[in-house]
Structure formats: C-alpha cells, structure tokens
Amino acid sequence: MAKFTSNTRPNQQQQLIAFLRDKQNLTILTGAGISAGCGIPTYRDEAGNWRRPDPIQHKDFMSQNETRQRYWFRSFSGWPAFASALPSPSHRIIAEMESLKIVKLVVTQNVDRLHQKAGSLNVVDLHGRLDEVICMSCAEFISRQAVQKTLKRLNPFLFEHGNVAPDGDADVPEDAALSMVVPCCSSCGGILKPNVVFFGDTVDKVIVQRIYQQIANGDGLLIIGSSLQVFSGYRFCRRAVQQGKPVASINPGLSRGDDIIDTLIRGNSDELLSPLAHNFY
C-alpha cells in the first residue's frame, strides 16, 4: 500500500494526498477532462455549459438515414486522430494505483479506451467503446477500423483529418453528407451503430448494479475530469454520498455534484496526480 507524505503546507495536492491515504478499495469515475490532454476535446466548458453542436440522439440515429449519413461522414474524418490518441499521465497513474491494490474499479464515461491502453485491467466503459461497431439487428460486432475501410470504399470522396471532436467525429461541412452511402451489416443488412450509448439511450442495468455494488463494498469514490452533468455518471456520486462513502473530485471547473462532494479539488488531474507517482514506490 502506498504511503503518501509531504512537508508542504495544505493545498490542493495535500487534499488529494489526504483523500488517498490508506485507500485499498477505491472506485474511480472519469470523464472527458481526463482525456483532454490527449488531444480529445471535452463537451463542456469549465462552467459545465455545452460547447458543441447538439449531440446525436439514439432515436434519430435509428430512425433517420440522414442522421446516420451525417454521423458516419463526420466520424470518418475524426476517427484516425481519435484512434491514435495516447494515454495521459493521469491514465497511467490510475493504472499504477490499480496494480498496487489502491484502486479496485475504474468507471469511465469516455469511449476512447485510453484506460485500457494505459494498462488498467478492471475498467467499465459506462458509455461503450468507439473502437467497436455493432449490428442492431443480429448483434454482430465489427471493428471500427474495418468500417473505416468500408466507408472509404463506398465513398471515395471521403477524407481524413485531425480535427477530432469529443465523440471521435470531426467538424466538417455537413451538406456533403447527403451523398454518403451508409454501410450496413454484411451478414444481415441491419443498421450498423458505434458500440456506444448515444444521448437518449440508457446504460445497461447490469452494469449500473455492478458499479453500485463496488461502491457499497469500496472505501471511497474519486471523480476525475467530469462535470457530472449527465445523470449516468452523477448517480454514482449520489449513491456514494448516500452510503456515507468519502467522495473527492478533481476537476478544473464546476460540477453538478459540488454541493454534496466532500473534497473538491479544482485543477488539472495530470498536474495533481503526476507528482504523487514517487509515493507508489
């Protein structure tokens, strides 16, 4: 077990050290802020306000071919930069904390798989994973990279660039999307959808119950880089508080849970976690 020590006066990092001390069964919940330094922008500003165009709605994706055209047009452009993103120092330190039995479970609202790239083993992708595509009829899984090749074959005019958006798509002129040929499942002809939870969809209840159980069995919840504006993440903060578990949040700006979280640490997680690495050895 890591022993956190410091001789400096109390500050944000000292708050974090105090929270982590003696933890052996910690749950970590991460949001878009932890991946911001990896080149994947966040949905919201520091006040928690939305700064992107309206997100794709699940019902629109499933019912409207034009919505699927726009999605895959943008996604084709943004996917290469999204897929090549590398883990941040925060991702790597969390993986190290897991290996040292400080962290029991990582729950991420992100779909970038950067926790897994960093070496974390016990991860729940709360909102799915963008590197997979699923057929909504036969439930067959296809790699996102394979779909990228199919998109290019069906639409030779498509181009890739590095202006990635939070959900792996990109800002491109959408009027050209109407000429898109949208790929379908090669096995059954069904609708192909990225294996993520779009807005308006719900997280599997089995996943939610697994996280609730870990919070009940654990010794605290650390929230990193999330404004908690989406209920799918906020519920875990609320559950931990209801059960009397210590809760801390590292976030540059405001969050929905600020009035109920015990330890609020305003700042960048890379800057706050990186100096703690030497405490793990």
Give the integer Cα–Cα distance in Å for 219 and 101: 12
Contact 166, 40 (CB under 8 A): yes
CA–CA separation, 196 and 133 (whole Å): 8
Location of structure tokens 């109390």: 10
Half-sphere exposure of 39 (CA within 13 A, CB side): 16
What's the CA gap between 132 and 144, in Å, rounded? 5
The bridge status of strand 123-125 relative to strand 103-108 is parallel
Residues 6+ apart with CB under 8 A from 53: none
For 29-59, b where at least 16 C-beta lie within 10 A, e where not — what string? bbbbbbbbbbebebbbeeebeeeeeeebebe
**2 touches 279 (CB < 8 A):** yes
105: β partners: 27
Q: Following DSSP, what letter does each residue of 242-281 receive, concatenated?
A: HTT--EEEEESS--TTTTT-SEEEES-HHHHHGGGGGGG-
Residues known to be catalytic: 127
Q: Which residues contact residue 206 at a Cβ distance below 8 angstroms, ignoring those fewer than 6 apart?
A: none
Q: Looking at residue 39, what DSSP letter applies? A: T
